[in-house]
Structure 1
Amino acid sequence: MGLSSYLRKVYDLDTLDTRFTSSTSVPYQTVIDARDDPAVEREAAARARSSAPPPKWRTPEFFLYYMVFIVVVPYMFWVAYDVSRPSDPRYPKYEKYLSDGWIPGRKIDNSDAQYRTFRGNFPIMTGLLIFHPLLRKAWESVYKPSARGARGSTRLDQRATFDFIFAIAFIVILHGISSFKILAILTINYQLATKLPRKYVPAATWIFNIGTLFANELTMGYRLQLLANWVGPPWGPLAHWGYWLDRWGGILTRWDILFNITILRLISFNLDYYWSIDKRSSNSLEVSAHSPPSPMSLHTKKGLDPASLSERDRISIPADIKDFSFRNYVAYALYAPLYIAGPIITFNDYISQSKYRAASIEWPRTIRYGVRFLLVLLAMELILHYDYVGAISKAAPVWSDYTAAQLSLLSFFNLHIIWLKLLLPWRMFRLWALVDGIDPPENMVRCVSNNYSTQLFWRAWHRSYNRWLIRYIYIPLGGSSFRSWQSSVKSVVTYLLVFTFVALWHDIKLRLLIWGWLIVIFMVPEWTASYLFPKRKWESRPTEYRMLCCIGAVGNVLMMISANLVGFAVGLDGLQSILSSILHDWSGVFFILTACICLFVGVQIMFEIRESEKRKGVVMKC
């Protein structure tokens, strides 16, 4: 296999996540078995060809788009590079935020705290990625649980015991004295799920976990010195004792910042347990050796192989009642590869994959995924060596000193850096999980530049979190429907509640609440346009419909850029300052119109990318 052929496989959707190229309702072993069947391949190819129009890549229309790309894309990079050169008169103002780089003659913009932490700890995390799976292999060669139970239960016992022990050691090293606070929260949450009457479990779960988010924020992670000052004299003996204990905070003292992701797993365990109570007799896949199965459970299990479940079955079929143990709960909630940042898997899925290794985990694909991660890391490093957009933003710039093009592209590249700084940890931790034998969902489906729909963008951004929201909030609230004005209003309220939780979960700050509500507000025009211009009425005019959709998509892109700048970059005041600086004269207005034309070209390319995926039999809802 040549280098170009291998790189194509590296950037194939199947390498990123098999969930994108095969149905989640079909066991992946079925996909593996069908690989060498020519009849299946011919049928899939014919079905794919009929689901999408002929390709447009070689049409005159798209050759015009290529000409725009050849000019505009290099120009975009040049503008960001030009304002980042030492010769720029504003360079001394933000130079203090730059660090020595590894590319000769260039410094690196390492001003972002999240990426700086990831970059500084990269060697340690790489060591853990190698050491943790090797230690598990050594454990499995020594620890041989009783083989009296089913094969899956034996494997679960072996893996969960290791995960439990490693998790305790892991959080003690990471958080020191605060590990006891974490275990206390886990214990209370477990007692709520297993000891309260069933009808109180959902309400108690949400109240406790949302309350924990607020308590973590208000007490700065229950700092003992702060708590001592509340109950005793300021800087008394108790406060001094608390200060001394706080110093033993481990490698990452701010455990409460990382704990938000653990909150999701606590809620997942409680609600999976709550939903299992009525279903366990009919859907359990394993039957205790000491009691015969009921007729209903035999009927439900007919045709289901617990060793080869589809992902949908792994999530929806409740774990066995004995699997909701405290050991398994802690092993899941603090599972080392996914503890710090995710991706997120449900408790049911964790137990199922612990019992039977997912067929989608194949070493050639995992290696290609690792290569892809390293290439993304290289891209991030190159951008930070040549485009200092983060440092410029941190230096409180006078935005009116920049041209409309410079302002727009600094904002645009700022969003790309935000995307990359989130993508890299998520991919590294997912790679660690894959090496360890657990297949969580891929968090980032598409590049941030390859999105034109606000609603679809949020399906692809932090995808495992989006799936969590759908399962535990969106569907229980009734989902959405836009068939009538009444149902539309209810749906908007549902989305507002979902994104309010999303904002509070990220951080308890007003700008994030504004960001969450802006997202919903910016979805309304898209929903309205879909209602007023349904695709079925334009079947005889596909080109006109595509152009109409593209115009709407350009508006969506501008709104998404604005919302994310507010939430994750410059805030509402910063966005207002940037917009006023861009639009203060006619040259800025002309630039915005030119940018909209360029976005129009980019959206047309996005449309065709998705049509190309359909021709290959891949239909992604994002």
Structure 2
Amino acid sequence: MGAFSFLRSVYDLDTLDTRFTVSSNTPYKAVIEARDDAAASSKERAAKWNSRPSSSSKSRWHTPEFYLYYLVFVIAMPSMFWIAYDASKTTHPNYRNYEHYLSPGWIPGRKIDATDSQYRTLRNNIPYLGALVVLHPLLRILYNTVVYRINSGGQASRPTLEEADRRLNQRASFDFGFAIIYILALHGVSAVKVLIILYLNYQVATTLPRKSVPVATWVFNIGILFANELCKGYKFKDIASILWAFLSGGLIDESNSSLVNWGRWLDSYGGLMSRWEILFNITVLRLISFNLDYYWSLDRRSYSPVELDPSSLSEKDRVSTPAQSGDYSFRNYVAYAIYAPLYLTGPIITFNDYISQLRYKSASLELSRTIRYGIRFALALFAMEVILHYDYVQAIAKFSPRWAEYTAAQLCLLSYFNLHMIWLKLLLPWRFFRLWALIDGIDPPENIIRCVSNNWSTLGFWRSWHRSFYRWSLRYIYVPLGGSSFASARDAARSVLTYVLVFTFVALWHDIQLRLLIWGWLIVFFMLPEMAAGSLFPKRRWDARPTAYRTMCCVGAVVNILMMMTANLVGFAFGVDGLRAILAGIFEHFSGYVFLAIACSVLFVGVQAMFEIRESEIRRGINLKC
């Protein structure tokens, strides 16, 4: 395999996640068997195992139309990088105002913009995280060898039920023990707070009357989100102050209280991440997953009586098939909720899927794919580092500049690259921790399918951005609320309400801030034109004019992209006031309108390429609907 072919394999969808290239109804073991069958052609295998809709459209990559688009790309892409770099040059009048935010860089002559706290934390801890990724699997092997006296390296192709139960027990026991050590190191004495919340949630699922579990689960966990935020992690000093005020009747100065001093002393042992509540939101999703999976498991009559081979379940069956009643134990629950590789950032895996993969190793875990996935992560990290050395958009935004001092082109490109920084700073930890899970023998869903510049649909963007959260929302919110249907006005109103409820939870889950609520509601608002256009202009009516239909869709997609950029800049970058200032700077002069027209033309060309990428995937039997 040549270097170019290997690079193509690194960026293949199958490397990213087999869920993108194989139907969720198809056991991956069957795919391996078909792949190993030399008599089966690649086309036959795709038709047999993918179960995806195919496309009869011809490729446009080598048409005169697309050669014109290539010329636009050759001119536009370097210009985009240059405009953003020009706004970040040391000779720019604003440079001295934010220079103190920059850090020494490893590229000669350039500093690095590491002002974002999320990325800076990841960047500074990469050596320690890398050591942990190596140490954790080695400790598991040592544990299996010493405690269970077995070699965990191999596994029978069809393990017996006894062997599967033994594998579940050994992995869950190790995960439980490591989880306790892990949160003690991360949160110090605050680990007790985490365990108390986990225990209370477990009691909600297992002790309340069955019909009360869903409502109680949602009330408890949403309440925890608010309580964590309002109480700022329940500082021991604050708890001691309340107790002291109650015991003393508020008559004695708490500064002389040994109880309050003791609480302050406990707070000083906060571990590596004393503010545990900041990243606890991801754990809340696992708590809800356990409770509802357990609740649904109590009514096993709702599941098919057909016997399935538990060692070769499809991804859909792993999620929907209840675990055995004994698997919903407190040990397994804690092992799942604080599973070390996925505890801090995810991706999110359901409890049923986790237990299934503990019992039977997923067939999609292959060493060659994991290596390619690791290389892809390293290349994304390198891209982030290079951009941060040449584009100081985060530092510029931090010092609250007068946006009018930048040209319209610079304002547009700084905003555009700011979205890329947000995308990359989330992609990197998600992929790093998923890589750790893959090395450890668990295959969670991939969180991001597309580059942020390869999205034109609001619905598609939601499906491909934080995909594991999207799938979680479908299973635990969207489907229980009845899904969506636009067959009648009443159904449409109910569907819009469903979307509003889903995105309200999504916004509150991210952070309890007004700007994020506005972001969530804007997403729903911007979905409506797309859904309306799909109903008013169905593709089947344009079969005789495919080019006109593609052009019309492309114009709508450009508008969609501008709306999505607006929503995400409000929610995750500048807020409403910052965005208003940027827009005022863009449209202050006629040059702003000219640049916007040029930008829309370039976006039009980009969307045509996005359409063709998806058509190419459909020709391979892959339809990701995003």
Report TM bin, short chain: over 0.9
Residue deviations 1:552-592, cap 9 Å, x none? 00011000100000010000110111111111222111111
8 A contact 1:229–1:235 mirrored in 2:
no
The amino acid of 1:270's aligned partner reads N
Other-structure match for 1:89: 93
CA distance in structure 2 between the aligned counterparts of 1:560 and 1:331, rounded to whole angstroms:
38
8 A contact 1:27–1:310 mirrored in 2:
yes
Corresponding residue to 2:205 among 193, 197, 201? 193
CA distance in structure 2 between the aligned counterparts of 1:149 and 1:79, rounded to whole angstroms:
62
Other-structure match for 1:365: 369
Report the CA distance between 1:152 and its aligned residue: 1.4
Residue deviations 1:291-311, cap 9 Å, x none? xxxxxx8x521xx21011000
Corresponding residue to 1:392 among 388, 393, 396? 396
Report the CA distance between 1:541 and its aligned residue: 1.0
CA distance in structure 2 between the aligned counterparts of 1:509 and 1:45, rounded to whole angstroms:
46
CA distance in structure 2 between the aligned counterparts of 1:607 and 1:239, rounded to whole angstroms:
62
The amino acid of 1:57's aligned partner reads W
Other-structure match for 1:262: 283
The amino acid of 1:76's aligned partner reads M
The amino acid of 2:340's aligned partner reads A
CA distance in structure 2 between the aligned counterparts of 1:230 and 1:383, rounded to whole angstroms:
49
The within-5 A match list for 1:551-570 is 551-570=555-574
Corresponding residue to 1:178 among 190, 197, 202? 190
After TM superposition, the score normalised by the length of structure 1 is 0.95
The amino acid of 1:319's aligned partner reads A
Other-structure match for 1:142: 146
Q: Do the aligned partners of residues 19 and 89 (structure 1) sit closer, same or farther apart at CA in structure 2, a change above 3 Å counting? A: same
CA distance in structure 1 between the aligned counterparts of 2:268 and 2:439, rounded to whole angstroms:
35
Other-structure match for 1:41: 42
Other-structure match for 2:580: 576
Q: Which runs of 5+ in 2 are unaligned?
A: 151-158
The amino acid of 2:4's aligned partner reads S
8 A contact 1:145–1:154 mirrored in 2:
no
Q: Do the aligned partners of residues 50 and 365 (structure 1) sit closer, same or farther apart at CA in structure 2, a change above 3 Å counting? A: closer
Report the CA distance between 1:43 and its aligned residue: 2.7
Alignment pair present for 1:152 and 2:127: no
- Percent of aligned pairs with the same residue? 63
The amino acid of 1:214's aligned partner reads F
Corresponding residue to 2:263 among 216, 232, 242? 242
Report the CA distance between 1:149 and its aligned residue: 6.2
CA distance in structure 2 between the aligned counterparts of 1:236 and 1:13, rounded to whole angstroms:
63
Give 3-state SS (helix, strand or coil) of 2:233's partner: coil
8 A contact 2:448–2:466 mirrored in 1:
yes
CA distance in structure 1 between the aligned counterparts of 2:43 and 2:591, rounded to whole angstroms:
55
Deviates more, 1:561-570 or 1:39-48: 39-48
Other-structure match for 2:298: 277
Corresponding residue to 1:545 among 531, 549, 555? 549
Other-structure match for 1:79: 83
CA distance in structure 2 between the aligned counterparts of 1:584 and 1:175, rounded to whole angstroms:
50
Give 3-state SS (helix, strand or coil) of 1:393's partner: helix
Alignment pair present for 1:6 and 2:18: no
Report the CA distance between 1:213 and its aligned residue: 0.5
CA distance in structure 1 between the aligned counterparts of 2:11 and 2:3, rounded to whole angstroms:
12
Report the CA distance between 1:145 and its aligned residue: 8.8
Other-structure match for 2:419: 415
8 A contact 1:511–1:572 mirrored in 2:
yes
The within-5 A match list for 1:502-513 is 502-513=506-517
8 A contact 2:47–2:621 mirrored in 1:
no
8 A contact 1:93–1:395 mirrored in 2:
yes
Instruction: Give the root-mean-square deviation of aligned CA atoms.
Output: 1.7
The amino acid of 2:24's aligned partner reads T
8 A contact 2:54–2:618 mirrored in 1:
no
CA distance in structure 2 between the aligned counterparts of 1:191 and 1:374, rounded to whole angstroms:
42
Other-structure match for 2:109: 105
Give 3-state SS (helix, strand or coil) of 2:446's partner: coil
Deviates more, 1:342-351 or 1:608-617: 608-617
Alignment pair present for 1:603 and 2:607: yes
Q: Do the aligned partners of residues 50 and 131 (structure 1) sit closer, same or farther apart at CA in structure 2, a change above 3 Å counting? A: closer
CA distance in structure 2 between the aligned counterparts of 1:155 and 1:125, rounded to whole angstroms:
26
CA distance in structure 2 between the aligned counterparts of 1:363 and 1:208, rounded to whole angstroms:
41
Corresponding residue to 1:427 among 424, 431, 452? 431
Report the CA distance between 1:142 and its aligned residue: 1.9
8 A contact 2:233–2:276 mirrored in 1:
yes
The amino acid of 1:250's aligned partner reads G
Report the CA distance between 1:540 and its aligned residue: 1.3
CA distance in structure 2 between the aligned counterparts of 1:453 and 1:474, rounded to whole angstroms:
19
Q: Do the aligned partners of residues 29 and 388 (structure 1) sit closer, same or farther apart at CA in structure 2, a change above 3 Å counting? A: same
8 A contact 2:486–2:495 mirrored in 1:
yes
Other-structure match for 2:497: 493
Report the CA distance between 1:52 and its aligned residue: 3.5
Other-structure match for 1:210: 222
The amino acid of 1:151's aligned partner reads E
The amino acid of 2:269's aligned partner reads W
Other-structure match for 2:518: 514
CA distance in structure 1 between the aligned counterparts of 2:333 and 2:44, rounded to whole angstroms:
44
8 A contact 1:145–1:157 mirrored in 2:
no
After TM superposition, the score normalised by the length of structure 2 is 0.94
CA distance in structure 2 between the aligned counterparts of 1:483 and 1:52, rounded to whole angstroms:
29
8 A contact 2:172–2:335 mirrored in 1:
yes
The amino acid of 2:33's aligned partner reads D
8 A contact 2:515–2:575 mirrored in 1:
yes
The amino acid of 2:449's aligned partner reads V
8 A contact 1:282–1:300 mirrored in 2:
no
Give 3-state SS (helix, strand or coil) of 2:306's partner: helix
Other-structure match for 2:350: 346
Report the CA distance between 1:41 and its aligned residue: 2.2
Other-structure match for 1:133: 137
Other-structure match for 2:156: none
CA distance in structure 1 between the aligned counterparts of 2:43 and 2:218, rounded to whole angstroms:
50
Other-structure match for 1:290: none
CA distance in structure 2 between the aligned counterparts of 1:148 and 1:496, rounded to whole angstroms:
47
Other-structure match for 1:588: 592
The amino acid of 1:555's aligned partner reads V
Residue deviations 1:350-402, cap 9 Å, x none? 00000000000000000000000000000000000111111000011100111
8 A contact 2:370–2:435 mirrored in 1:
yes
CA distance in structure 2 between the aligned counterparts of 1:347 and 1:212, rounded to whole angstroms:
20
8 A contact 1:393–1:570 mirrored in 2:
yes
CA distance in structure 1 between the aligned counterparts of 2:46 and 2:336, rounded to whole angstroms:
40
Residue deviations 1:227-275, cap 9 Å, x none? 2333425535132221111111000001001110000000000000000
Report the CA distance between 1:55 and its aligned residue: 0.5
8 A contact 1:68–1:598 mirrored in 2:
yes
Alignment pair present for 1:300 and 2:306: yes
Give 3-state SS (helix, strand or coil) of 1:176's partner: helix
Q: Do the aligned partners of residues 277 and 419 (structure 1) sit closer, same or farther apart at CA in structure 2, a change above 3 Å counting? A: same
CA distance in structure 2 between the aligned counterparts of 1:505 and 1:277, rounded to whole angstroms:
28
Residue deviations 1:145-196, cap 9 Å, x none? 9999622111000000000000000000100010000000000000110111
Residue deviations 1:384-432, cap 9 Å, x none? 0111111000011100111110000000000000000000000000000
Alignment pair present for 1:114 and 2:134: no
- The list of structure 1 runs, each at least 4 consecutive aligned residues, that deviate by more than 4 angstroms after superposition, is 44-50, 145-149
Report the CA distance between 1:40 and its aligned residue: 4.8
Report the CA distance between 1:219 and its aligned residue: 0.8
Report the CA distance between 1:50 and its aligned residue: 5.6
